[in-house]
Amino acid sequence: MSTITLISGSTMGSSEYVAEHMAEILENHGFSTEVLHGPSLDDLRLGGLWLVVTSTHGAGDLPENLQPLADTIAQEQPDLSNVTFGSVGIGSSEYDIFCGAIKSFEHLLKDRGAKRIGDRLEIDIQKYEIPEDPAEDWVKEWAKLL
């Protein structure tokens, strides 16, 4: 079975913890995983299965550690047609553009030919004190689609 690459975008660490927690659950379900926090394009294999987990900052913006990857994809336009991915956003419904970062990152991946597996999870920290809880439920269902 190929490795699932979890890609996190985070400022204060919440999304990193969520990514690591989901990786642990996937490992317990027999998948192999690697977790990359704010990777560059060179760190990634341009194929296989990715699971993107990112919070939103500014006004609907990507966290600073994921913005460079988004910029590189936009500039270099790599072929991502061999990539399938899952999508998890973390944000707060207090803000006008709720979970904007994961939506724009997804748009970028799809634009390069990547295909999403399953529905996007959007975790509202106003609703869930511990974002790992909804992430855990979601990833167990997502794993069934793989």
Decide whether 80 or 123 has the Cβ nearer to ligand FMN: 123
Residue 117 token pair: 């597996």
Q: What is the CA radius of gyration of the chain?
A: 14
CB of 79 to ligand FMN, least distance (A): 29
Residues numbered 37-66 forming contacts with ligand FMN, rule: CB under 6 A: 55-60, 63
Chosen residue from 14, 33, 84, 87 binding ligand FMN by CB under 6 A: 14
Restricting to residues 72-131, which ones interact with ligand FMN according to CB under 6 A?
Answer: 90-92, 95, 97-100, 125
Task: Give the residue closest to ligand FMN by C-beta.
Answer: 91
Output the smallest distance, CB 132 to ligand FMN, in A: 12
Q: Is position 67 an interface residue for ligand FMN (rule: CB under 6 A)?
A: no
- Of the chain, the end-to-end C-alpha distance in Å amounts to 10
Helix (H), strand (E) counts: the chain: 4, 6
Site for ligand FMN contains 5 (CB under 6 A) = no
Q: Between 31 and 98, whose beta carbon lies closer to ligand FMN?
A: 98
The residue ranges that bind ligand FMN (CB under 6 A) are: 10-15, 55-60, 63, 90-92, 95, 97-100, 125
